[in-house]
Amino acid sequence: MNKTQSRVIVITGASGGLAQAIVHQLPTSDKLILLSRQKEKLHQIYGESNHLFFKSPNIRDDHAIKAIVEEIYQEFGQVDVMINNAGFGEFKNFNAFETNETREMFDVNTIATIQFSRLVGEKMAQKKHGHIINIASMAGLIASNKSSVYSATKFAVIGFSNALRLELANDKVYVTTVNPGPIETNFFDRADPDGSYLKTVEKFTLKPDKVASKIIKIMGTNKRELNLPFLLNIAHKCYVLFPKLSDMLARKVFNFK
């Protein structure tokens, strides 16, 4: 689809800072279906506009995800871009997590992404058109202290996306993983409530507007992955080539949590 034409774009986790930056930069000719647990909050953030549509499914409920996907297709006929952005993190020692906390993070960060990608991907394949963009994280490429569960959820998203990309390639459906480092958003209200971690990684911190503009630029293109910022992308390459050294540095030199 030509980028000047109207597109149907679905964004989960639409109340988050990155989603807000994406929405504000997209043209009003696009129809944006914004999903969040709190529909009222979406109204407060975005106000009212003819090109914005707010929905509040429980993304921890498989039946609710299936129902909302069917509802979207009945109402709009297609989805051109699916952005799986919902997610949260908590940075603490591995043995400080309760089972229910681990399960919640996997439900939101991983299972919901897989379900939306699977259901929407199937419909995109039928139309031979579409782009699934899964917001993962550099934590899914480079593990670090106190991020065992969060990293696991994002490693899973990346692995799933890499396989899905292969399966949908012949159907002209693109799958991209976006792997940013820390972004200045409300993500850290829960992950880093005292702000100490965010302060130590200030030089790596990304502005949501800049990440959003790069995501918008790749929409509709066959981009495999987007790793940000540049320095962390280099660190990832070193992590792959020199895993033992990288583990030592992550444990002793770059342990900011």
Helix (H, G, I), strand (E, B) or coil at 141: coil
CA atoms of 31 and 12, how far apart (whole Å): 14
- Beta carbons of 86 and 35 less than 8 angstroms apart: yes
Q: What are phi and psi of 214, to 5 degrees?
A: -70, -35
Q: Point out the residues that are catalytic.
A: 150
In angstroms, the Cα distances linking 150 to 21, 108, 118, 226, 251 are 23, 11, 22, 19, 17
Q: Using CA atoms, how far apart are residues 161 and 226, in angstroms rounded to an integer?
A: 13
Three-state secondary structure call for residue 9: strand
